Amino acid sequence: MFIVTVLVSLIVVAQDANRLLREVDDNLMPESYEANRKLINEEPNGSKKEFTFYTVKKGKDKIAMLYLLPASEKGRATLRRGENMWLYVPSANRPIRITSLQSVVGGVFNNADIMQLEYSTEYDATYSEGTDKEYLLDLKAKNKTVAYDKLKMWIMKDKKILRKVEAYSASGMLIKTLEFKDDKDFGGGLMRPSVIETYSPLYKGYRSLMIYQTIKKRQFPDEVFTLTYMNRLGALR
């Protein structure tokens, strides 16, 4: 009887941790939306490179992104459906497959970071030892196609807002840290960090910033998230 009680308690705690993770997802983004973002890559010598994107997402597994700036990248597009990703280059006039750990823009963010799906879609959560002000979740990838095998996630208790994520390999090596900063009211009841800063022990002196400029709920037909639509994303703006 004691063993059964303990097992039931563990199941309830695990369910509660995954419920919190879903709430964090909901507080980060509407289920379907459009957004304008700027990405800044900073190098050890002080040089910077900036990109501007128009992003659309539908449901839990579809996201597409159109490059607006710099001019040399204008017209490029990326598409993610589940764990499958493609890059469209106008000069080639066809999409090519890319992987989650590659980075089509360079810097510390990889493709999975830039085209992030909901965390609860890719990970199972358990509670770890937090603080009076923060929850700490340990996340384990649901399958081997996910970019990171494990995550540690710090969440503010009062507003259920994400503050920090550490990404680890299967061997336990820290790959990168992502900090969520500068809470902003985007309208429609969405209050969330507007800046994500990432750095890595593997890239000393490098830093990348993702800045959300606008986020707005919007519904899209499934056609938008197909390979044949990648060269027409600009028509949505």
Give tens-digit pLDDT for 70-91.
999 999 999 999 999 999 999 9
| pLDDT class of 15 with cuts at 50, 70, 90 | confident
Tokens linked to 152: 């540690």
Which residue type occupies 195?
A: V
Give tens-digit pLDDT for 106-152: 999 999 999 999 999 999 999 998 889 999 999 999 998 899 999 99
Q: What is the pLDDT of residue 11?
A: 47
CA angle 64, 70, 71 (to 5 degrees): 100
Q: What is the pLDDT of residue 5?
A: 40
For the chain, what is the mean pLDDT?
A: 92
Which residue type occupies 186?
A: F
Give percent of the chain with pLDDT exceeding 90.
88
Residue 8 has pLDDT above 60, yes or no: no
Classify 5 as helix, strand or coil: helix
Provide the CATH number for the domain formed by 2-236 in this structure: 2.50.20.10
Please report the beta strands in 114-173, taking only residues with DSSP state E, as ranges in sequence order.
Answer: 123-128, 134-141, 150-156, 162-168
Rg (CA), the chain: 18
Q: What is the pLDDT of residue 2?
A: 46
**Token pair 């807002």 in the structure block, residue:** 161
* Contact present, 108 and 200 (Cβ < 8 Å): yes
**Hey, where are the domains in the chain?**
2-236
Report the distance separating Cα 190 and Cα 193, nearest Å.
10
Q: What are phi and psi of 108, to 5 degrees?
A: -85, -30
* Contact present, 151 and 139 (Cβ < 8 Å): yes
Please tell me the least confidently modeled range out of 5-14, 117-126, 155-164, 186-195. Answer: 5-14
